[in-house]
Structure 1
Amino acid sequence: MYMDENKFEVNFGLKEIKAIIPHRYPFLLIDKVTYMEPGKKVTAYKNVTGNEYFFSGHFPEEPVMPGVLIIEAMAQAGAVAILSKEEFKNKIAFFGGINRAKFRKKVIPGDTLKLEVEIVKIKGPAGVGKATAYVEDKKAAEAELMFMIGNKN
């Protein structure tokens, strides 16, 4: 299931994603991965539908994906990249912090969220990723995500 370190174009669906990160419905927020450099970069997608559980309360008359869930989707994409690195396989990535988060465009039903994450620093089990979310090539959100790698219980 894990890829050749020199081949970065991938076609990971839910099965492959679930083999790398522990998230499951209703909290798995990425649907596919099309590019990945293990431990370095990833491009993932979330198809936002009108059936998302959070739209029933956010907001019934004008459904908008909560910003915190966009951040979580970016973090899950980054976790796929970092947990695909040989030394971190079969581990879990936890949030260590979020800096410089900005939301620039509403994400609504029918949108496809493109998530790009670059791991910019790793020191031991800690690291930092620069994450950006797009809708139709327009920046929807961005943030710097800090993470810690831990063991699964």
Structure 2
Amino acid sequence: MHDYAAIRDLIPHAHPMLLVDRVVEMEPFHRIVTVKTVSGSEPCYAGMAKGLDTRAFAYPSSLLMESWGQGGAILWMERIKAENRERSGALILAATRKVRLHRAVLPGDTLRHVVQVDQYVGDNLFLSGKSYVGDELVSEVGSAIAVMRPAERVSWEG
């Protein structure tokens, strides 16, 4: 499938926000299974004090959702590439609904994200899916929308 180098070339995400290590299954343009191993060396753990209990090292749910959503970005960029088009803007995971978090993800866990494209509508992508550690369900996303917006229309300032 795709290894880290191929993913890095395909989607616009870069270190430290490229949160997919490998693609293990893909039904082009419709369904993808990706993996991401959470390490204690992740930037989100920098500066944490010694002596904290295990719960303090729960992987942030925002990063869990971003990692899951990047599977959709891979499917989307594969479709754009197959249509001989260029990406025309920034990819944004704009909203998620019916999200259920079942358990904490900790350093050493390998996430397996299953992402399904429910619909492509212009520069918008509708998704759903689940994430696992081993066979244990970690999270569910009932629906999500990702959008592509021209870079000049995206403000990174607060």
Percent identity, aligned pairs only?
Answer: 25
Compared with structure 1, are the counterparts of its residues 32 and 82 closer, same or farther at alpha carbon in structure 2 (3 Å cutoff)?
Answer: same
Correspondent of 2:125 among 96, 106, 127:
127
Equivalent in the alignment of 2:39: 49
Unaligned runs of at least 5 residues, structure 2: 153-158
Unaligned runs of at least 5 residues, structure 1: 1-9
The superposition leaves residues 101-126 of structure 1 with CA deviations (integer Å, 9 ceiling, x where unpaired) of 11101100110000110001112221
The CA distance in 2 between the partners of 1:88 and 1:103, in whole Å, is: 38
The CA distance in 2 between the partners of 1:87 and 1:93, in whole Å, is: 18
1:38 aligns with 2:28: yes
User: SS where residue 84 of structure 1 aligns?
Assistant: helix
Higher strand share: 1
Structure-1-length-normalised TM-score: 0.84
Structure-2-length-normalised TM-score: 0.81
The CA distance in 2 between the partners of 1:58 and 1:78, in whole Å, is: 31
Compared with structure 1, are the counterparts of its residues 15 and 21 closer, same or farther at alpha carbon in structure 2 (3 Å cutoff)?
Answer: same
Compared with structure 1, are the counterparts of its residues 123 and 13 closer, same or farther at alpha carbon in structure 2 (3 Å cutoff)?
Answer: same
Correspondent of 2:109 among 104, 108, 111:
111
Higher helix share: 2
The CA distance in 1 between the partners of 2:49 and 2:85, in whole Å, is: 38
Compared with structure 1, are the counterparts of its residues 89 and 137 closer, same or farther at alpha carbon in structure 2 (3 Å cutoff)?
Answer: farther
Q: Is the 8 A contact 1:36 1:42 kept in 2?
A: yes
Which residue type is aligned with residue 145 of structure 1?
A
Let me know the Cα RMSD of the aligned residues. Answer: 2.1
The CA distance in 2 between the partners of 1:29 and 1:53, in whole Å, is: 12
Equivalent pairs counted in the alignment come to 143
Which residue type is aligned with residue 105 of structure 1?
R
